[in-house]
Amino acid sequence: MTEQGLIEGLKKLREEKNAIILAHNYQIPEIQDVADFVGDSLELVQQAAKTDAAVIVLSGVYYMAESVKIAAPAKKVLLPVLDAGCTMANMIQQEQLRVFRMEYPDIPILCYINSSAEVKAESDLCCTASNAVSLVRGMKADKILFVPDQNMGSYIATQAPDKEIISWDGFCMTHHMVRPAEVDANRSRHPGALVLVHPECTAAVVERADFVGSTTEIINYARQSEKKEFIVGTEMGVLHRLRKENPDKKFYLLSPVLTCFNMKKTALTDLYWALEKEQHEIKIHEDILEKARLCMEKLFV
């Protein structure tokens, strides 16, 4: 099928099945262009929680589809490519949290949305890059375990200095690889450009940045800024919206390592077959879903 054929086919299938396509900001441009909504991790669950559609196709990675299912348990949630995973999410297991809980029953567990439904079910509260700092500031406890991203954990610690953040040692294989020297080199190459980075980058990169935020926060910041040039320190998928929404501005990728192979697994054809065959449906055990929903409650509003 041609690209145009796929786009028309998707339009028809969406109407027939009362479906919507939610895509993460890291998805390939062709998918972002056909999606009903493109956004960051928080916006995707919020869209899912309020949609009237019967079917939600989540174009992204597995934990995002699970999170959408938790946000909208009555809907049919489809992930086009089943093995589009998240290496960071796999760096913590439910059993490890159970052991921690037994040893430290008084320390609340805050999990990053980049985690499995089972890990969420074992945690007290869930956050995303865009609300992690405000949620932590609002927590009563002085000491908090944050899982699984060590870089996000250290970023939160700098923004909420009155809290003691114990971080798990996971990391995002894409953001973690960016070196601080690349920020310095880009600044000399593009003097006057602002450096915008994701908090999944290491502390040495984050402290050199002009702005730190989630994917959508980076996009919003660049749109509102009067500056014309930006060095972008997050996955290259965001460049599509940045360039499309700001044709008068220039965007440079901070590092060539900023490509997430899992986010690039989904093609337009996968989206088409996902809707046509209603595959692959996300199923979560009822007990896990209920507990994970409690942990994610603050995200749905």
User: Closest CB to ligand 13P among 116 and 214?
Assistant: 214
Q: What are phi and psi of 253, to 5 degrees?
A: -75, 130
Residue in 114, 116, 151, 255 binding ligand 13P, rule: CB under 6 A: 114
Cβ at position 112, least distance to ligand 13P in Å: 9
Cβ at position 293, least distance to ligand 13P in Å: 19
In whole angstroms, give the CA distance from residue 153 to residue 147: 8
Contact between 59 and ligand 13P by CB under 6 A: the answer reads: no
Q: Within 4-33, which residues bind ligand 13P (CB under 6 A)? A: 25
User: Closest CB to ligand 13P among 25 and 32?
Assistant: 25
Side chain identity, residue 11: K
Q: Are the C-beta atoms of residues 144 and 191 closer than 8 Å to each other?
A: no
User: Closest CB to ligand 13P among 194 and 196?
Assistant: 196
In whole angstroms, give the CA distance from residue 175 to residue 165: 21
Q: Within 194-223, which residues bind ligand 13P (CB under 6 A)? A: 198, 200, 214-215
- Please identify, among the stretches 93-101, 116-124, 128-136, 177-185, the one whose residues bind ligand 13P according to the rule CB under 6 A: 128-136
User: Closest CB to ligand 13P among 170 and 275?
Assistant: 170
- Please identify, among the stretches 6-14, 101-109, 122-130, 204-212, the one whose residues bind ligand 13P according to the rule CB under 6 A: 122-130
Cβ at position 174, least distance to ligand 13P in Å: 7
User: Closest CB to ligand 13P among 66 and 200?
Assistant: 200
Longest dimension (CA), the chain: 57
User: Closest CB to ligand 13P among 49 and 141?
Assistant: 49
Contact between 167 and ligand 13P by CB under 6 A: the answer reads: no
192 sits in the region (left: phi over 0; alpha: psi -120 to 50; else beta) called left
Paired tokens of 281: 């449906």
User: Closest CB to ligand 13P among 85 and 108?
Assistant: 85
Is the alpha carbon torsion for 50, 270, 259, 147 positive or negative?
A: positive
Please enumerate in sequence order all residues whose Cβ is within 8 A of that of 262, keeping only pairs 6 or more positions apart, or say none: 61, 84, 85, 86, 87
Cβ at position 89, least distance to ligand 13P in Å: 8
Residue in 40, 66, 182, 270 binding ligand 13P, rule: CB under 6 A: 40
> E-strand spans in the chain?
19-24, 37-39, 55-59, 76-78, 109-112, 125-127, 143-147, 164-167, 194-197, 211-212, 229-233, 250-253
Paired tokens of 50: 């309020």
Which residue is it, tokens 């928080």?
Answer: 42
- Please count the residues of this chain forming the interface with ligand 13P, following the rule CB under 6 A: 13
List residues binding ligand 13P (CB under 6 A). 25, 40-42, 114, 128-130, 172, 198, 200, 214-215
